[in-house]
Chains A and B, each alone.
Chain A
Amino acid sequence: MADALRFRDHPAADEPAVSLDAFLNQPEAASVRIEAGDDVRRLAPVLARTRLIEVDFPKFRDGRGFSSARILREMGYAGEIKATGDVLVDLVWFMRRCGFDSFAPDAPFDAADVEAALARYPYVYQPAADPPGSSWAVPIWKLRHG
């Protein structure tokens, strides 16, 4: 696997992520792997013990993982959400806005491309699950009206 790109300070979880069904049945587990068709709302009762949630993209055109990540943030989960699989650098900004804060793509990113992608858009038109404190957290309509 390529080197992960992370936007978190704390050490990465080092145990392997298990499937959603296994995770719900293993009270000691702290890392879970979400497949594209999984319902992340099933994690609600166990979020407190969850340190890492990997959301897999089987192909980059499968956009279910975007909803999964944003729902997790709406549920109050503040731990790491890692995008894995067929993740393209052109999606990184949208993923950051949905709450992803680490990336382990099948094909490694070019660091300069990541930087360019994240610096590309100065504003956003609508709220999402943006990183706290990021400039994206304030939609254009709020800038317009103060």
Chain B
Amino acid sequence: MYRYDQYDHAMVQARVEEFRDQTRRRLEGKLTDDQFKPLRLKNGLYLQLHAYMLRVAIPYGTLNTVQMRKLADIARRYDRGYGHFTTRQNIQYNWIKLEEAPDLLAELAEVEMHAIQTSGESIRNVSADQYAGAAADEIMDPRPWAEMIRQMTTFMPEFSYLPRKFKIAVIASAADRAALRWHDFAVRIVRNAAGEDGFEVYAGGGMGRTPFIAYRIREFLPTGQLLSYMQAVLRVWNRNARRDNIHKQRMKILVHELGEDEFRRQVEDEFASFVAMDEDFPQAEYDRIAAYFAPPPFETGLSTDINRVDPDFALWVDRQVVAHKAPGYAIVNISLKPVGGIPGDISADQMDLVADLAERFSFAEIRATHAQNLVLPHVRMADLHAVWTALDAAGLGDANLDLVTDIIACPGLDYCSLANARSIPLAQKLSERFADPARQADIGELKLKISGCINACGHHHAGNIGILGVDRKGSESYQLLLGGSGDEETSQAKIAGPGFDEDGIVDAIERTIEHYRTVRAPKERFIDTYRRVGMDGFKEAIYG
């Protein structure tokens, strides 16, 4: 994976010292809270209900063992012994003291990590396919381009104060594991008939209170013109977005209001002028970065046999292990969704355990996924049993990838000052309701996503089943949505009907799922059945 050179180190260290200075000025009263707020947000520091939350960037979801151990160390010394992996492959700490934040950031910098632009009106941390570099179906490793984008978009002066946040995703396979079209800007690396690599470009997606699925605005962008193209998109948005209503300033609103064709035309005009300036990154820089992502030294001639005598292990293999591009290797998904647990939460001891396993069995590499799980990307099949045994002993052995208990949930009203309703207790109740492994397995793939307010951090718009917490006359209420997806067949979930209270929504979801089991065709996933029978096919079962 990528390693900082002297320049990267100097930039991140300068950022730490800048924030230390800004924090000092705030604590001395030289900066008002209003002035300090955007500065701290651009360094990942939110004020939540009870304390500051720090969001640490995990660029394109890739981290190494040294970094994971540092995250554990920080959880112990600056937080309460745990961290929370987010829907954008980052990690958040919920109990941070402002005066300690500069020291925390300095410690992150030692292991080549930062919290730069992880919140506020910034170009956010780039997300990517969590199986990058390991997936059997990718045409290349997308991470060198993601790292290139990280560098291009760090401290971009023209886009210092964008209208809103700007989220980017990068993938390189036909299967979409990164919810590409739910991003403001996203590229899929493709290869044209002439054998040249380029980007298929999407823009204008996003969730929040006004969800839009991104449009494909370019079929093929030569890779060498990425900076020009991104600057063109950002400039069109920065100059033309509304600035009078924070809820209408995301790029998706502009793209929608201008229309796909007019937005594309304006971008192409700006793009031509950027290309003429000839300031794109050279191939040599791509090559330099790509060298860091050279495949690890995979052994050849490995056995592909897996001893399936232990039924619990076999179940875990079938659910959590995915095909790897190198024969004899496998991709291991680590569930952070134990029954009754908090989705995405992980203790410091568990982080250390994952780091140890990565060091012994996965070339020291770990990935975070947008579904709030972890991945060991390069595990020899012969080592799977040892990995499972260790995970299981640490409470990380659940076999529920993409099943109904693999719930995405935002922090909700337990932490977040924006939330209308709690998400975590609901996720816990649902996972307890569907805890039976045989029942989960029978239900099959079902992506359930919970947001505690319309900002949609829990991706309810993309849930096969989505839950949206709302405030109804002063009490928490939950709306049920069906039919969303974040994969290559992206779709937006629709509201089923009137909302429910906390127990009522759990029952309604059970009725929804039982109805699916009744009407499904053989091998039909929940989303397939929904697409076949539509909302009308479910309404009576839900509402009677």
Contact = CB atoms under 8 A, between A and B. Distances in A.
Nearest to B22: A90
Interface in B210-242: 227, 235, 238-239
B5 A63 contact: no
Interface string A71-97: 000100000000000001011011101
Given A121-B11, A122-B14, A143-B7, A64 B243 contact: yes
Contacts of B227: 126
A108 to B, nearest CB: 13
A35 B136 CA distance: 53
Contact of B158 (A98, A110, A120, A122): A98
B157 A128 contact: yes
Contacts of B282: 141, 145
Interface residues of A, number: 36
B151 interface: yes
A121 B14 contact: yes
Contacts of B154: 125
Contacts of B157: 66, 70, 93-95, 97-98, 128
B243 A66 contact: no
A127 B279 contact: yes
A141 B227 CA distance: 13
B160 A125 contact: no
A4 interface: no
Given A61-B38, A120-B18, A67 B11 contact: no
Nearest to B21: A116
Contact of B11 (A39, A88, A95, A123): A123
B279 A63 contact: no
A26 B169 CA distance: 48
Contacts of B121: 61, 63
B285 A74 contact: no
B162 interface: yes
B250 to A, nearest CB: 14
A60 interface: yes
Contact of A125 (B11, B30, B159): B11
A67 B235 contact: yes
What is the interface of chain B mostly: helix, strand, loop, or mixed?
helix
A124 B151 CA distance: 9
Interface in B478-514: none
Q: Which of B14, B25, B155, B284 has the most CB of A within 10 A?
A: B155
A144 interface: yes
B238 A123 contact: no
B10 A66 contact: no
Q: Which of A61, A70, A127, A144 counts the most chain B CB atoms within 10 A?
A: A61
Contact of B155 (A67, A88, A95, A124): A124
A24 B6 CA distance: 49
Given A61-B161, A62-B161, A126 B235 contact: no
A98 B156 CA distance: 10
Contacts of A66: 157-161, 238
A91 B159 CA distance: 11
B273 interface: yes
Contact of B160 (A94, A120, A121): A94
B35 interface: yes
A140 B38 CA distance: 26
A60 B162 CA distance: 11
Contacts of A63: 121, 159-163, 238
A60 B157 CA distance: 14
B39 interface: yes
A11 B43 CA distance: 39
A66 to B, nearest CB: 5
B161 A60 contact: yes
A93 B160 CA distance: 10
A36 interface: yes
Interface in B153-198: 154-163
A28 B25 CA distance: 45
Interface string A128-146: 1000000000001101110
9 contacts: A39-B239, A66-B159, A90-B22, A93-B157, A120-B17, A121-B14, A124-B155, A125-B152, A144-B7
Minimum-distance CB pairs A-B, first 8: A63-B161, A97-B157, A94-B157, A94-B160, A127-B279, A141-B285, A140-B7, A128-B157
Interface of B: 5, 7, 10-11, 14, 17-18, 21-22, 25, 30, 35, 38-39, 121, 151-152, 154-163, 227, 235, 238-239, 243, 273, 277, 279, 281-282, 284-285, 288
Given A36-B243, A94-B155, A144-B288, 16 more contacts: A64-B243, A67-B235, A67-B238, A74-B277, A94-B160, A97-B157, A98-B157, A116-B21, A120-B17, A126-B152, A127-B279, A140-B7, A140-B151, A141-B151, A143-B7, A144-B285
